[in-house]
Structure 1
Amino acid sequence: MSEDRIAALEARLGLLEDERAVARAMASYGPLVDSGEADAVAALWAPDGVYDIDELYLAGRERIGEMVRSPAHRGWIQQGCAHVVGPPHITVQGDEAVAVCHSLMVVHEAGRYVVRRATANHWRLCRTPGGAGWQVVTRTNRVLDGRAESPVLLARGVRGDPAGG
C-alpha cells in the first residue's frame, strides 16, 4: 500500500473516530441527567461552556451542575423522566465539531408517558487539550413549537455552521 493511501485511510479513520467520540459524548447526556449525575453532566461541558435552553441560560459547569441538582430537576427524576437525544448529524473540522439533533423530554404522568418537550439542539464541541476527548462549548436548545428559530437552528447545524441560533 502506498504512503499516500495509508495517510488517506488514517485521515478517514481519524474522522470516524472523532465523529463517534462526539456522538458518544452527546448520547451520554440523557442517561447522566436522568440519573442525577450532576458532576458528570457538568463535565460534558468545557469549564466556561454554555447551555442555552429556551427559559434557562447556564454559563459554566457550576451552573449546569446546579440545574441537575435543583429541586425541579430532582422532581422530574422522582416522577420518572427520560431525556432522549436523537441521532446526531456531526461535522468535524480539526479540533472543533458542530452537531445537530432532536431531543425529547418524556415524563411519567398519571400512569402514562407523555412527551413534555420536542426540541431542536445545536451543539458546538471542541477537542480537549491533549486529545483526551470532546467537550461541549455551547449547546443551544429551542422547542419545536412552530417558532421560526427552531428549524433554522437545525438547518444551521446540518450545514456545520458553528453560529447555532
Structure 2
Amino acid sequence: MTDSTELVGRLVERVQLLEDKLDIMQIISAYGPAVDSGSAEAVAGLWTEDGVYDVDTGSMTGHSEIEAMVHSRNHQSYIHGGCAHLVGPPHIVLDGDTAVATCHSQLVMHDGESKTNRVARITANRWEFARIDGQWKVTVRTNRLLDGRAEAREILAAGVTAQP
C-alpha cells in the first residue's frame, strides 16, 4: 500500500501541473480578445517587460513596442474592419519555472463587400513562458506563416518534442 504522505505529495504535484497548464492556456486564450478589442496594455501585459513577439514580418521587444503594434494604423484597420485572432489549443511542455506551448493561430478578416469572413493567414506558434514571482508570462512568442516553408513546420514539429 502507498504511504499517504507520498500519495498526497504526488497529488499536490499533479494539481500544480494542472494549474500551471491552465494558467498558460488562460494567457494564450486572452491574446485574441485583447488584441481584437485594441486593449494594448492587456496584450503587452501578457509578456515580460523585455518579452519578444517575433512574427514573420518583424519583431517587437518590450511592452511599448507590443502596445505600439496594437495602436498601429495597420492593426487598427483590422479591428475597425472586423477581425478575429483565433488561437488553437496549445500543446504545453513544462519544465519547472519555464514552459513551451505550441499551437496554430488564424487571422480571420471580415470582407465588407461580400459581407463574409475569410481566413487571411494561418501561422505556427511557439510561446515560451517563465514563471516570475509566481505568475506565468510570455518571454518569446514566435509565429511563422504556414505557407509551405520549412520554418513553420519546424516550429510545429519541435513543439511536440519540446524541451523548454
TM-score range (shorter-chain normalised) is over 0.9
Partner of 1:68: 70
Partner of 1:32: 34
Partner of 2:128: 124
Q: How many residue pairs are counted as aligned between the two chains?
A: 160
**Bigger Rg, structure 1 or 2:** 2
Cα displacement string for residues 53-94 of structure 1 (whole angstroms, at most 9, x for unaligned residues):
000210111100000001111110000000000000001111
Partner of 2:10: 8
Secondary structure of the residue that 1:22 maps to in structure 2?
Answer: helix
In structure 1, how many angstroms separate the alpha carbons of the residues matched to 2:145 and 2:156? 11
Which of 25, 39, 44 aligns to 1:42? It is: 44
In structure 2, how many angstroms separate the alpha carbons of the residues matched to 1:20 and 1:155? 23
Secondary structure of the residue that 1:146 maps to in structure 2?
Answer: coil
State the 1:128 CA deviation: 1.8
Equivalence map 1:98-137=2 (5 Å): 98-109=100-111, 110=113, 111-129=115-133, 131=134, 133-137=135-139
TM-score under structure 1 length normalisation? 0.95
In structure 1, how many angstroms separate the alpha carbons of the residues matched to 2:123 and 2:156? 10
TM-score under structure 2 length normalisation? 0.95
Partner of 2:86: 84
* Poorly superposed stretches of 4+, deviation over 2 Å: none
State the 1:20 CA deviation: 0.5
In structure 1, how many angstroms separate the alpha carbons of the residues matched to 2:159 and 2:138? 14
| 2:36 alignment partner AA | D
In structure 2, how many angstroms separate the alpha carbons of the residues matched to 1:51 and 1:112? 30
Partner of 1:148: 150
Whether the aligned pair in 2 keeps the contact of 1:99 and 1:158 (CA below 8 Å) is no
